[in-house]
Amino acid sequence: MAITTKIIKRPKMTFWQQIYIPEIIRGVCITGGHFWRNLFFHTMHRFGLFKAVRAAVTIMYPEHKRPLAPRSRTRHRLTKREDGSARCVACMMCETVCPAKCIYIVAEEHPDPTIEKRPKSFDIDLGLCVFCGFCVEACPEDAIRMDTHILNLAAYSREGMKLNMNELLDPNPNYTVQIDPKRP
Ligand code: SF4
Ligand code: SF4
């Protein structure tokens, strides 16, 4: 099949575009418009007026955190049975469906004869994860969820992005990045 190439010429800038001044004025008008609009409505809200009209606010992150929607996909966790053990039956569905191939499970026999298997180890490499949620969708046991609302996922090394089974079973909601002692 013949491949045709269409050459698109870069449009020439007009004189007014080249001197930028109208664009700068336009930008200042847009920013100023938002500023005065928000100032007006926030002042009106103080007096109980125009409550139905929303005005923008700045959230001082990380001191103040915005509430997340209940269905937000955040850091993974493994759910537990009543005895505290993982619900996971090591069926490998999540590992198979994961498009980033960042779930690593080693299975072993479960001591309870009514349950076939359990994970000996269960690791997720968050450095590779794309947060698609397929693992949660695929799980037949509701054993993995992404509802911790933990967004602080940074680390100083690739190794630090890997979660092991203990971290997945008991996620620390107050986790903060550990300073790497090797860093200068
Ligand atoms: S959210 Fe997607 S990419 Fe991340 S572990 Fe689950 S299936 Fe893999
Ligand atoms: S799909 Fe669910 S039960 Fe199967 S290995 Fe993954 S977490 Fe465990």
Per-domain boundaries in the chain = 16-46, 77-169
Question: Taking 60 as the threshold, does the pLDDT of residue 184 lie above it?
Answer: no
Residue predicted with more confidence, 17 or 1: 17
* 53-104 pLDDT, tens digit each: 999 988 888 888 888 898 999 999 999 999 999 999 999 999 999 999 999 9
Atom 4 of ligand 1: nearest residue by CA position? 129
Tell me if 97 CB under 6 Å of ligand 2.
no
The minimum-distance atom of ligand 1 relative to the CA of 103 is: 5
Distance CA 57, CA 38 (A): 8
pLDDT of residue 67: 85
Among all bound ligands, the one having the nearest atom to the CA of 103 is 1
Ligand 1, pocket-test mutation among 93, 101, 103, 104, most atoms within 8 A of CB = 103
Q: Provide CB contacts within 8 A for 68, sequence distance 6+.
A: 74, 149, 151
pLDDT of residue 91: 96
Amino acid identity at 174: N
What CATH number should be reported for the domain whose range is 77-169?
3.30.70.3270
pLDDT of residue 178: 62
Question: Taking 60 as the threshold, does the pLDDT of residue 183 lie above it?
Answer: no
Amino acid identity at 12: K
pLDDT of residue 181: 61
DSSP SS3 for 25: helix
* 125-179 pLDDT, tens digit each: 999 999 999 999 999 999 999 999 998 888 888 998 999 999 999 988 776 666 6
